């Protein structure tokens, strides 16, 4: 079974646009769980332009599904995650000013750095995942870092899906097979939506979790949050 983790960054972006606490990030996260989401994802950045560090600490004690914190492993991020002790931390190689995640880790160049960071999280029994391109070499080297899972960066799949879905999915199928042989759990995320999610789910072996934020929150403007979450959950069946 593939879990749906809802990324609520965009809810925080809307709140921050006017100040105050509307919409209430914690309430929306709890509503997502109530409507069927099997996890909540947040990606706090140093400038706190959407999710704030305080949000992470407020969410952690009240969530009942899986809590996934994404981010670049700066010292302040590491300390935040160790304080919150979520179910999972997903490491991304974002530079501080990037608009959104746009590349996976080079697990050859950064292997020793990742080993050290992952070792620290695992000493606190926090499951780790590494955000990565569907590159077989990078996946094999990810296994050497000690990570539990990799999260496939699916932007290229989403971009190429409308023109040739079979070509778009091919490299991800190969990556999934390599991850499985390396003993790595498999997550995926970035630009997955109601049009392309089911085909990805149906063709990727061993897919444990998808993290979806931007598209899902946009769809919720039209369909409502509860209905939208149900629509996404349906894509992860059959």
Catalytic residue among 38, 43, 50, 151: 43
Interacting residues of 147 by C-beta distance below 8 A, sequence separation 6+ = 91, 114, 118, 128, 129, 130, 184
Burial of 170 per CB tally in 10 Å (0-12, 13-18, 19+): middle
Active site residue 124: no
Catalytic residue among 33, 38, 66, 70: 70
Catalytic residue among 38, 50, 190, 209: 190
HSE on the CB side for 5, CA within 13 Å?
A: 29
Q: Which residue has the tokens 């599904």?
A: 65
3-state class (DSSP) for residue 90: strand
Active site residue 70: yes
Backbone torsions φ then ψ of 187, nearest 5 degrees? -115, 170
Distance of alpha carbon 79 from alpha carbon 55, whole angstroms: 15
Whether 107 and 130 have beta carbons less than 8 Å apart is answered as yes
Q: Which of the residues are catalytic?
A: 43, 70, 190
């Amino acid at each position: 079974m593939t879990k749906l983790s809802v990324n609520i960054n965009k809810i925080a972006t809307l709140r921050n646009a006017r100040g105050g606490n509307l919409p209430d990030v914690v309430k929306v996260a709890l509503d997502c769980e109530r409507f069927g989401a099997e996890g909540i994802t947040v990606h706090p950045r140093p400038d706190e332009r959407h999710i704030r560090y305080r949000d992470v600490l407020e969410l952690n004690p009240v969530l009942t599904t899986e809590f996934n914190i994404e981010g670049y492993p700066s010292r302040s991020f590491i300390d935040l995650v160790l304080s919150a002790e979520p179910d999972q931390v997903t490491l991304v190689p974002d530079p501080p000013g990037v608009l959104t995640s746009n590349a996976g880790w080079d697990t050859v160049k950064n292997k020793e750095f990742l080993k050290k960071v992952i070792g620290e999280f695992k000493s606190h029994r926090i499951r780790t995942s590494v955000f990565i391109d569907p590159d077989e070499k990078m996946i094999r080297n990810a296994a050497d870092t000690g990570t539990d899972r990799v999260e496939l960066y699916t932007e290229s799949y989403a971009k190429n899906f409308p023109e040739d879905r079979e070509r778009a999915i091919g490299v991800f199928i190969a990556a999934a097979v390599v991850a499985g042989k390396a003993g790595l759990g498999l997550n995926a995320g970035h630009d997955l939506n109601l049009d392309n999610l089911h085909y990805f789910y149906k063709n990727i072996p061993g897919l444990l979790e998808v993290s979806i934020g931007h598209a899902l929150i946009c769809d919720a403007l039209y369909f409502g949050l509860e209905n939208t979450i149900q629509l996404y959950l349906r894509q992860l069946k059959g």
